[in-house]
Amino acid sequence: MKIGIIGAGRMGAALARHFATAGHDVAISNSRGPDSLGELEAELGDRVRAMTPEEAARFGELVVVAIPFKNYKDVPAGELGGKVVIDVNNYFPDRDGHIEELDRDQTTSSELLATHLDGAYVVKAFNAIGAASLRDKARPGEATGHIGIPISGDDLTAKQEVDDLIAEIGFDGVDAGTLADGGRKHQPGTPAFVADLPSEDLAARIAE
């Protein structure tokens, strides 16, 4: 599969490494341009190429968004219609500035992203695991020891595609519901956030 990643911080880089190791072709991008990613591109190997966000969005059959949430409107919506988009973002008011709709719990950050990406199939995943755990605790090919990753989304087919990808790189997907209901169950401050639990224990926390 061709996977585009918008955001080349610790989360984006960790996912790029996992996806490339699993045999996928990956385009990674940031707001500063491909020239700023030469060292990372070389480190991650031949399956990873640095591109602009627009190019990465166009390249990917599936696209990951892993940027500070305050910049979500910079994601190139026109390139993502009909594609599955994994939302790795979290809303942190101290970093992102206060957004009234989120502060009042009128909606979720993933729903705002989905509104911006009209026509894309947004699935929230990988937001509730720390970057170090994402990098170091994958167990691909092992029968046990997998950490659960909450998944939220409104399209069952898109969620299944993300769940399959999560399993491929060595974690367990745990269905948390829709973007509205599930997204609230694994955002910052919830019992499921950065819990690093096996899937059964994580599912119990999500159900609380």
Class of domain 2-207: alpha beta
3-state secondary structure of 27: strand
What pLDDT does residue 37 have? 94
What is the rounded distance in angstroms from the CA atom of residue 36 to the CA atom of residue 44? Answer: 14
What pLDDT does residue 142 have? 86
Backbone phi, then psi, for 125, in 5-degree steps? -160, 160
* pLDDT tens per residue, range 120-165: 999 999 999 999 999 999 999 888 889 999 999 999 999 999 999 9
pLDDT < 50: residue spans in the chain: none
What pLDDT does residue 144 have? 85
What pLDDT does residue 145 have? 86
3-state secondary structure of 133: helix
Q: What residue type is 48 in one-letter code?
A: V
What pLDDT does residue 182 have? 85
What is the rounded distance in angstroms from the CA atom of residue 166 to the CA atom of residue 151? Answer: 10
Delimit the domains of the chain by residue range.
2-207
10 Å Cβ neighbour count for 127?
Answer: 25
3-state secondary structure of 121: strand
Average pLDDT of the chain? 96
What pLDDT does residue 62 have? 98
